[in-house]
Amino acid sequence: MSSYKFREGELIQELKLYVDKTYNQHYATDKYQATDVIIDSGHGTGFCLGNVIKYAKRYGRKGNAKEARKDLMKILHYALIQLYIHDEENKSKNAEDTYSEYNGQIAAGHHRSPTPEEWNKLSWGMKE
């Protein structure tokens, strides 16, 4: 079994736990989060990328190492939300496989996370 060099599998799992936890926090108690309203009003990209920039600029400047690490989690979370927005906005423009840039090696609508072996087989458009 292949293993990631930089603990990516472990860190992705940690990111998932972090995101899951945000859905239980105070700002997620209503039926709609503020982020839903912002996206629905057409300002999602600016909101997400603005937050990525904000937390990237703040990284390491506020608090301790634990708080800096949390800023990195926020960056990744907002980047994931932006990836969702990107895909939603480009559905009609690009009806073919969302993962076409991975040479079709991950099927459209595929909901299982790829194994490290599957990720390692992806060419990522790089020459060997």
In this prediction the pTM is 0.71
Residue 105 within any structural domain of the chain: no
Per-residue pLDDT reduced to its tens digit, 15-29: 999 999 988 776 656
Residue 101 within any structural domain of the chain: no
Helices (H) and strands (E) counted in the chain, each on its own, are 5, 0
Q: State the maximum Cα–Cα separation within the chain, in Å, rounded to a whole number.
A: 50
Asked if 59 and 68 count as a contact pair (C-beta separation under 8 A), the reply is yes
- Provide the phi-psi class of 110: left if phi over 0, else alpha when psi is between -120 and 50, else beta: beta
**Is the predicted pLDDT of residue 126 greater than 50, yes or no?**
no
**Is the predicted pLDDT of residue 66 greater than 60, yes or no?**
yes
Instruction: Find all residues with CB under 8 Å of 38, minimum gap 6, and list them.
Output: 44, 47
Domain residue limits at 70: 8-92
Residue 16: phi, psi to the nearest 5? Answer: -60, -45
Q: How many domains does the chain have?
A: 1
